[in-house]
């Protein structure tokens, strides 16, 4: 079991910013666990797998953009740019997590997570995929136990990691929530930050 340290980058929508206006901040460093053997080349999910995974963890929310009054599925319209083969000029999908892929993943995560956090309070309990053990009224001061439980559930759902209560690996996530909440005075951006970071983290998209 090897351990590497990677920087977690967040894409946070500014309060009141127009659609697409984002601030990208380096927020934390956290150990990344890997069971890869020495010398193994990591690959990312293909675009179809990535889209399906994002829709699964978000309860069916897609990466879309309104164009001329029509919701366009961006994973479809950008699939060639993202390396999906057209079977004319290319027959194999490029699966290295390059800079262009990372940029589009940041955009997709920010869009989907903003929609997800807005949708969760109106969903029935059994439909929720992010705010399961908390409400947006729960803060780091008022209900830290619920926030930890929700983080543990999110890590299991998004990364397939079962993290025990009180595990030190939860601390960077708690600090992320506390920092965003302190900055905004609102838990919605804090959980949006968690969601975005979970998706852009390599534990979500690579194998």
- Give, to the nearest 10 degrees, the angle between helix 171-184 and helix 144-159: 120
Residues of the chain above pLDDT 90, percent:
53
Angle (CA) 142 187 55, round 5°: 125
CB 19 within 8 A of CB 111: no
* pLDDT-derived band at 71, boundaries 50, 70, 90: confident
pLDDT per residue over 119-165, tens digit each?
A: 999 999 999 999 999 999 999 999 999 999 999 999 999 999 999 99
List the beta bridge partners of residue 82: none
pLDDT digits (tens, 9 = 90+) for 92-112: 667 677 788 888 889 999 999
Distance CA 123, CA 138 (A): 17
Orientation angle between helical segments 99-119 and 187-200, nearest 10 degrees: 140
Mean pLDDT across 164-184: 96
**Rounded to two decimals, what is the model's pTM?**
0.78
């Amino acid at each position: 079991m090897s351990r590497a340290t990677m920087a977690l980058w967040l894409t946070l929508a500014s309060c009141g910013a127009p659609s697409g206006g984002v601030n990208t901040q380096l927020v934390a460093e956290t150990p990344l666990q890997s069971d890869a053997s020495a010398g193994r080349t990591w690959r990312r999910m293909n675009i179809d797998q990535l889209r399906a995974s994002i829709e699964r963890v978000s309860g069916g929310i897609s990466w879309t953009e309104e164009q001329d009054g029509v919701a366009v599925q961006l994973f479809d319209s950008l699939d060639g740019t993202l390396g999906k083969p057209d079977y004319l000029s290319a027959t194999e999908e490029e699966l290295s997590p390059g800079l262009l892929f990372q940029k589009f993943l940041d955009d997709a995560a920010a869009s989907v997570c903003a929609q997800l956090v807005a949708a969760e309070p109106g969903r029935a309990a059994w439909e929720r995929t992010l705010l399961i053990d908390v409400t947006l009224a729960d803060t780091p001061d008022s209900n830290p136990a619920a926030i930890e439980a929700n983080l543990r559930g999110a890590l299991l759902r998004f990364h397939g990691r079962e993290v025990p209560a009180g595990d030190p690996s939860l601390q960077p996530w708690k600090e992320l929530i506390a920092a965003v909440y302190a900055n905004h005075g609102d838990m919605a951006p804090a959980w949006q930050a968690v969601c975005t970071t979970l998706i852009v983290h390599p534990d979500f998209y690579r194998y």
